């Protein structure tokens, strides 16, 4: 009797360790992705004097949500099956300033050698019927642990502030409403999504116009800054002035 109890206790202990390891690997994958995104953000700020990322949110799906998804999709309830089929356990949402930033950022992420792109769903070029827009990437990244290397799926959603505003509120409006949503409401939500699209397009146009203006003005401004640096009337401060000065010397 005592040996049986001991066996059960050991099995439970092993199961607990396995579950903790399973969930931890997703947390580590998110830590790695967050570091990568942070590096891109900082480097972009220094080199281009511009930050395309407004904010980043990440989460590990709760065990309850994982089990719910396994149930609704009809997957087998085992760790191997969950690992293979539920690819959004680790999720990152990046909100960008402008439409063009989304594709720039997606390209920079996809070009990283240790990131394997599994799937790319472009709900911006092909919005969902309800009006939902966002760029979704499913990637796999290696996580190195004490005794093994795991390749973990991460879902990355990249969108603009307007897309995020719409999606967050749409989610709130539908949240916990299990009955059919009235057609009129669906139409109005779709119209709201179209307004968000127009706003994104307008802001993108303004962004491009301003970029061109800065390029023309920038040369003269930087040049006079550089002249002041050479004549010693402008002090160098780290790191932007050093970068500006080095870039002028290279050019
Ligand atoms: P949560 O709580 O955000 O994680 P999948 O269900 O992922 O196996 P699917 O449906 O092809 O397969 O995935 P898709 O289309 O890539 O969408 C996955 C996620 O995108 C959703 O996760 C939402 O976060 C978001 N999303 C997709 N469609 C909509 C939409 O119409 N409105 C809003 N607000 N968000 C959407 P989850 O798991 O549904 O939820």
Q: Model confidence over 128-172: pLDDT tens digits?
A: 999 999 999 999 999 998 888 999 999 999 999 999 999 999 988
CA of residue 4 relative to chain centroid, distance:
48
Instruction: Please report which confidence band the pLDDT of residue 239 belongs to, taking 50, 70 and 90 as the band edges.
Output: low
Which residue range(s) make up the domain with 153? 2-161
What pLDDT, on a 0 to 100 scale, did the predictor assign at position 221?
56
Question: DSSP string covering the chain, please?
Answer: -HHHHHHHHHHHHHHHHHHHHHHHHHHHHHHHHHHHHHHHHHHHHHHHS---EEEEEEEEPPHHHHHHHHHHHT--SSHHHHHHH-TTSEEEEEEESSHHHHHHHHHHHHT-TTPEEEEEEETTTS--TT----EEEEEEEEEE-SS-EEEEEEEEEEEEHHHHHHHHHHHHHHTT--SPPPHHHHHHHHHHHHHHHHHHHHHHHHHHHHHHHHHHHHHHHHHHHHHHHHHT-S---TTHHHHHHHHHHH-
Atom index in ligand 1 nearest the CA of residue 130 equals 31
How does the average pLDDT of the chain come out, rounded? 87
Residue 105, pLDDT > 90, answer yes
Among this protein's residues, is 155 annotated catalytic? yes
Instruction: Please report which confidence band the pLDDT of residue 177 belongs to, taking 50, 70 and 90 as the band edges.
Output: confident
- Contacts with 191 (C-beta within 8 Å, 6 or more apart), sequence order: none
Residue 14, pLDDT > 50, answer yes
pLDDT greater at residue 105 or residue 50: 105
Cβ 132 under 6 angstroms from ligand 1: yes
Asked, for residue 180, whether it belongs to a domain, the answer is no
Asked, for residue 226, whether it belongs to a domain, the answer is no
What pLDDT, on a 0 to 100 scale, did the predictor assign at position 236?
47
CA of residue 180 relative to chain centroid, distance:
31
Cβ 66 under 6 angstroms from ligand 1: no
Asked, for residue 204, whether it belongs to a domain, the answer is no
What is the rounded CA–CA span in Å between residue 220 and residue 77? 64
Asked, for residue 72, whether it belongs to a domain, the answer is yes
Residue 1, pLDDT > 90, answer no
Length of the chain: 251
Asked, for residue 208, whether it belongs to a domain, the answer is no
> For 165-195, b where at least 16 C-beta lie within 10 A, e where not — what string?
ebbeebeeeeeeeeeeeeeeeeeebbeebee
Can you give the CATH number for the domain in which 26 is found?
A: 3.30.460.10
Residue 231, pLDDT > 90, answer no
Cβ 13 under 6 angstroms from ligand 1: no
Residue 206, pLDDT > 50, answer yes
Asked, for residue 172, whether it belongs to a domain, the answer is no
Nearest-CA residue for ligand 1 atom 27 is 132
Average pLDDT over residues 46-60: 91
Residue 238, pLDDT > 90, answer no
Range with top average pLDDT, 158-162, 171-175, 247-251: 158-162
52: nearest Cα among 108, 98, 109: 98
What pLDDT, on a 0 to 100 scale, did the predictor assign at position 248?
57
Average pLDDT over residues 45-67: 92
Of 2, 54, 119, 155, the catalytic one is 155
What is the rounded CA–CA span in Å between residue 4 and residue 231? 85
User: What is the tally of structural domains in the chain?
Assistant: 1
What is the rounded CA–CA span in Å between residue 35 and residue 154? 14
What pLDDT, on a 0 to 100 scale, did the predictor assign at position 47?
84
Asked, for residue 117, whether it belongs to a domain, the answer is yes
- Contacts with 132 (C-beta within 8 Å, 6 or more apart), sequence order: 123, 166, 167, 170, 193
What pLDDT, on a 0 to 100 scale, did the predictor assign at position 214?
84
Asked, for residue 241, whether it belongs to a domain, the answer is no
């Amino acid at each position: 009797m005592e040996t049986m109890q001991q066996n059960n206790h050991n099995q439970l202990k092993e199961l607990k360790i396995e579950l903790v390891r399973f969930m931890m690997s997703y947390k580590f994958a998110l830590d790695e992705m967050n570091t990568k995104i942070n590096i891109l953000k900082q480097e972009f700020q220094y080199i281009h004097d511009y930050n395309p990322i407004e904010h980043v949110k990440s989460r590990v799906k709760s065990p309850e949500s994982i089990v719910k998804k396994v149930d609704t999709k009809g997957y087998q309830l085992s760790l191997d099956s969950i690992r293979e089929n539920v690819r959004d356990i680790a999720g990152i949402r990046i909100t960008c300033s402008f439409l063009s930033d989304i594709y720039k950022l997606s390209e920079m992420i996809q070009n990283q050698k240790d990131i394997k792109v599994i799937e790319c769903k472009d709900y911006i070029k092909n919005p969902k019927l309800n009006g939902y827009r966002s760029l979704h990437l499913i990637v796999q990244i290696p996580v190195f642990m004490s005794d093994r290397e795991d390749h973990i799926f991460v879902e990355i959603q990249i969108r603009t502030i307007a897309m995020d505003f719409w999606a967050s509120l749409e989610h709130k409006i539908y949240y916990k409403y299990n009955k059919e949503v009235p057609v009129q409401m669906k139409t109005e939500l779709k119209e709201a999504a179209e307004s968000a699209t127009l706003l994104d397009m307008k802001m993108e146009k303004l962004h491009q116009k301003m970029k061109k203006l800065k390029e023309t003005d920038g040369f003269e401004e930087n040049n006079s800054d550089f002249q002041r640096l050479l004549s010693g009337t402008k002090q160098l401060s780290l790191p932007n002035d050093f970068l500006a000065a080095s870039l002028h010397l290279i050019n």
